[in-house]
Structure 1
């Protein structure tokens, strides 16, 4: 029996709905409290994470795919197994070159994602 249970302490991916983030981009919001939040973000090839900034510190892991990331004035190509750090209030954005998934951690949590 594969019963999916909801819990604040444990999250099972199949129980978390995918939410529209922007064209070609969907996200799942995993565990969070006021101080930290985990978010899984799925990108289609060619999807653009528009350049933006927020007060949250962000650290991300490339679970799969290839992304061109811009953070401040730096640009790099990142692939599966790579990661990046975005200080608060720093302009950043991405272009997905090969469909993939980013695992994002925000501190404090992103109220706008709830």
Structure 2
């Protein structure tokens, strides 16, 4: 059987530039398929995110540093999955952190 890469996207995160997406946030878009994307985010020390609702599921894995998400301290190796219809009322990092997230493709 021969392997096929049709429909696949491969990325080398080391070869992708960081893009500033807001004060204290940089992003690397790693790929997308079927209405979802996978991206790496870097948050500067002291970053505090705004309250927002999730209209769809989101998945996040902490690569380094630490964050507090909805009152839960998360460090490297920790993850969260959040369902549609939830509110992200707290997202902050005192140390700075890097995460990988999977979420709906921006409109």
TM normalised by structure 2 equals 0.81
1:13-92 correspondence to structure 2 within 5 Å? 13-70=13-70, 75-92=71-88
Structure 1 segments unaligned to the other structure (5+ residues): 1-7
CA RMSD of aligned residues (A): 1.6
Question: C-alpha distance in 1, partners of 2:37/2:56?
Answer: 10
Matched, 1:12 2:5: no
- TM-fit CA distance, 1:62: 0.7
1:3 maps to which residue? Answer: none
Q: Which runs of 4+ in 1 moved over 6 A?
A: none
Matched, 1:103 2:100: yes
Q: Report how many residues are paired.
A: 99
- TM-fit CA distance, 1:11: 0.7
- TM-fit CA distance, 1:14: 3.3
Structure 2 segments unaligned to the other structure (5+ residues): 1-7
